């Protein structure tokens, strides 16, 4: 038997048959959810949108508003927290912000300030230190800043000067000595003294 006979035969699709087109789209989004972006709006069905979001939470961006349900939106943010930005305001709940931030701390960017609490901010920086960037200064504490730089030394960039304590800065430096340019001079000097046992 020749190898040519083992090749799969091309799929024949009748582009005038809505059912066959829907099956093609369904197959495509199951492989790569973001294909949903290229599907004409009138051909997007609840089944196709569900399959797309199940494959990739980001696909929620391309789901028509009328097909966005609470369950679909929850699925999206459980897979990709930053998909919270594509949920209609009428469906969003405070709990959804927590789910999104627990999934990926950077979802804090899309949490309105009036929903930001010390608790959700702490969850965000525990998950990803860079989330400190999205915390208002009024909610930043030395503890939150310390956790943030332990998880990502470059988060020191977003620590208010008055919170750049020895402990916070050392936590950042221990991970990444290249962070020294963000450390206040007096702490940098102390670090060098400690490093070389100078008195």
Tens-place pLDDT, residues 164-183: 999 999 999 999 999 999 99
For range 24-45, the mean pLDDT: 96
Residue 33 has pLDDT above 80, yes or no: yes
Q: How many domains does the chain contain in total?
A: 1
Distance of CA 43 to the CA centre of its chain: 29
Q: Is residue 70 part of a domain?
A: yes
Inter-residue contact 49 to 28 (CB < 8 Å)? no
Residue 88 lies in a domain: no
Q: Which domain holds residue 41?
A: 11-78
pLDDT at residue 7, as a whole number = 55
- Tell me, yes or no, whether 74 lies in a domain: yes
**pLDDT value at position 197?**
83
Could you give the CA distance from residue 30 to residue 52 in angstroms, rounded to a whole number? 6
pLDDT per position as a tens digit, 56-102:
999 999 999 999 999 999 999 999 999 999 999 999 999 999 999 99
Q: Is the pLDDT of residue 6 over 80?
A: no
In a domain, 55, yes or no: yes
Is 113 within a domain? no
Average pLDDT over residues 130-151: 98
């Amino acid at each position: 038997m020749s190898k040519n006979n083992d090749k799969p035969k091309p799929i024949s699709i009748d582009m005038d048959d809505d059912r066959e087109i829907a099956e093609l789209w369904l197959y495509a989004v199951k492989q790569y959810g973001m294909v949903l972006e290229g599907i004409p709006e009138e051909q997007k069905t609840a089944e196709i949108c569900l399959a797309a979001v199940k494959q990739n939470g980001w696909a929620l961006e391309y789901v028509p508003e009328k097909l966005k349900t609470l369950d679909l939106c929850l699925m999206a943010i459980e897979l990709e927290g930053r998909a919270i930005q594509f949920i209609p305001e009428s469906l969003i709940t405070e709990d959804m912000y927590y789910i999104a931030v627990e999934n990926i701390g950077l979802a804090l960017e899309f949490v309105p300030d009036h929903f930001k609490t010390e608790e959700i901010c702490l969850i965000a920086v525990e998950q990803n230190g860079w989330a400190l960037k999205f915390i208002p200064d009024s909610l930043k504490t030395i503890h939150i800043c310390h956790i943030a730089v332990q998880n990502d030394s470059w988060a020191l960039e977003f620590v208010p000067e008055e919170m750049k304590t020895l402990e916070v800065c050392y936590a950042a430096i221990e991970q990444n000595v290249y962070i020294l340019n963000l450390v206040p001079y007096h702490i940098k000097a102390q670090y060098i003294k400690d490093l070389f046992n100078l008195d």
